Structure 1
Amino acid sequence: MGLIRRFTIQLLNSLVLLRKHKLIHCDLKPENVLLKHPTKSSIKVIDFGSSCLESEKVYTYIQSRFYRSPEVIMGMEYSMAIDMWSVGCILAELYTGYPLFPGENEQEQFACIMEIQGVPEKHLIEKATRRKVFFDSNGLPRISPNSKGRKRRPGTKPLSQALKSTDDNFIDFVNRCLQWDPERRMTPEDAFNHAWIARSSSSSKKQHRS
């Protein structure tokens, strides 16, 4: 867990820098986070080919599927908050070894998110230009079986179960990255004050003093 936390701090530093310049990476995923050296924990974020200024967004459909934010899936306006969604997905995968939301297609991708995070708030659904793809005329989620015949029901899989973790701070950190509403999603700056990160910084300072 300590290594994952060190990776996270470096990712957050990268996002803080991007936010200062109002840049959205648009394709954060494990393949775009590289180790600087095989035996060290320093990382660097690569592949800015899809990146854009928040004020000059070019594409409406971005991000690799497993790490794609719900606002992009639903066809809503997006912001720098989509990168924090991807961070939450990356952390979960680093911890478990598996993608948190392994959708076979965009419909199942959305179902994977709802299975853990429940149904999005009504005001978000109303803003979605693609809501008819994911919701019926009554506003209920369209639930279709995947290739294995499995139907993912909203809110039936707690995040703690998906993460296979009992670390409440870690679970809460990931959950705050994965809020449906981008306005409520944790920012990189907020993340540095979260207990899961802050306790590491506090511990490092104590060790340094001793």
Structure 2
Amino acid sequence: MENYVQVTEIANGAYGRVYKARDLNHNRLVALKKIAVINDEQGIPISTIREITSLKSLQSFGHQNIVRLYDIFANYTVDRRTMDLTLVFEHVEQDLQTYIRNCPSAGIDTRKIKDIIYQIVNAIDFLHANRIVHRDLKPQNVLISRQGIVKVADFGLAKVFCENVPITSVVVTLWYRCPEVLLQSTYATPVDMWSVGCIMAELYLREPLFCGQTDIDQLQKIFSMTGLPDESEWPVNIPFSRSTFCQYTRRPVQYSEMMPEICQDGVDLLQKLLKFNPKERLTAEESLQHPYFQDVLPSEKSDNHGDVNGRQ
């Protein structure tokens, strides 16, 4: 760690603190993410070891749209009840939340929106192909460089560390969570695709699509826009009854009315990403083939797409 000099604090969230630092060995800027992991009775939780191993193995592929992890350092506290982890990532200038906030009053160019979404989906496809679910995809966890290259960050870390740190409503937003998570039902990779849909809408609107304050309020915000799903689609063995939301039976809001700049293919993609039923939601692989992306340059489509097992 003596080879890294902290410059300034970048963020302070549920999973630790992030600092901008200088790597003296390579004369480059990096991001240091510092996290405290509470040891269980057997020592470091096996889930932590497993996820860090997975995280490191992905880096060998060097996917363009995944933030690079350069190094990991671990130190025990004096009582050995807590292990302080420091993860050294490549430094990227800003996150997507800042990018949206600083966009010109006329909005983000629709071609740029398409390019950003394509890169995000490309990253998520890579993660899903390698059996990793991000689970916390939101604009703050998507970085964008001055060259316009998108980097998905914090993948897998929520799963590793969420049991060992306090989570507050201030730092963990509900706005990008899918219905099955809010309803406390089972979930899998489609959770990330719902988040992609929310981010896509936000790029057009320049504000979040669903801004709930609690799980119930978030569901109400969703159903007021998408309409209440049929009884046959409602999950079983969950603590929420469909009748709780019976007032949201009117026709769904038209995305084209909310976002005049979006094309018809964009509306179609958005509708298929924001499906209540996760089995009907487009996968990342299917999304990459959607007509909305048909005019993405072939060279952009071929860059770093695939998985560590060689799938193309």
Sort the TM-score into its range (normalised by shorter chain): 0.7 to 0.9
Give 1:197 deviation, angstroms: 0.7
Give 1:153 deviation, angstroms: 6.6
Alpha-carbon contact 1:27-1:64 (below 8 Å) kept: no
Amino acid at match of 2:201: A
Structure 1 residues 138-176: Cα deviation after superposition (integer angstroms, max 9, x where no partner)? x36155xxxxxxxx7753522222334451111111111
For 1:3 and 1:65, the matched residues in 2 are separated by 26
Aligned pair partner of 1:141 in 230, 245, 264: 245
For 1:66 and 1:127, the matched residues in 2 are separated by 24
Q: Which residue of 1 aligns with 2:283?
A: 187
For 2:223 and 2:237, the matched residues in 1 are separated by 15
Q: C-alpha root-mean-square deviation of aligned residues, in Å? A: 2.8
Alpha-carbon contact 1:75-1:128 (below 8 Å) kept: no
Query: Does 2:165 align with 1:42?
Result: no
- Output aligned runs, 1:105-144, within 5 Å: 105-127=214-236, 129-132=238-241, 135=242, 139=243, 141=245
Structure 1 residues 103-135: Cα deviation after superposition (integer angstroms, max 9, x where no partner)? 132222111111221112323324251223xx3
Amino acid at match of 1:19: H
Alpha-carbon contact 1:100-1:162 (below 8 Å) kept: no
Structure richer in strand, relative to its length: 2
For 1:99 and 1:32, the matched residues in 2 are separated by 15
- Output aligned runs, 1:1-210, within 5 Å: 1-35=110-144, 37=145, 39-48=146-155, 49-51=157-159, 64-127=173-236, 129-132=238-241, 135=242, 139=243, 141=245, 154-155=250-251, 157-201=253-297
Higher RCO (C-alpha under 8 Å, 6+ residues apart): 1
Structure 1 residues 178-200: Cα deviation after superposition (integer angstroms, max 9, x where no partner)? 01111110111111111111233
Alpha-carbon contact 1:74-1:128 (below 8 Å) kept: no
> For structure 2, which runs of at least 5 residues remain unmatched after alignment?
1-109, 302-312
For 1:116 and 1:164, the matched residues in 2 are separated by 17
Alpha-carbon contact 2:225-2:253 (below 8 Å) kept: yes
Fraction of identical pairs, as percent: 29
Alpha-carbon contact 2:228-2:249 (below 8 Å) kept: no
Amino acid at match of 1:23: I
Cα distance 1:202–1:21, how it changes in 2: closer, same or farther (>3 A)? closer
Alpha-carbon contact 2:113-2:203 (below 8 Å) kept: yes
Count of residue pairs the alignment pairs up: 184
Normalising by structure 2, we get a TM-score of: 0.53
Cα distance 1:21–1:130, how it changes in 2: closer, same or farther (>3 A)? same
Normalising by structure 1, we get a TM-score of: 0.77
Please state whether the residue corresponding to 1:127 is helix, strand or coil. Answer: coil
Structure 1 residues 57-82: Cα deviation after superposition (integer angstroms, max 9, x where no partner)? x8xx9x73000000001111100000
Amino acid at match of 1:141: F
Amino acid at match of 1:121: D
Amino acid at match of 2:148: S
For 1:156 and 1:69, the matched residues in 2 are separated by 17
Amino acid at match of 1:160: S
Cα distance 1:156–1:80, how it changes in 2: closer, same or farther (>3 A)? closer
CA radius of gyration, larger in: 2
Structure richer in helix, relative to its length: 1
> For structure 1, which runs of at least 5 residues remain unmatched after alignment?
53-57, 144-151, 206-210
Q: Which residue of 1 aligns with 2:63?
A: none
Give 1:87 deviation, angstroms: 0.3
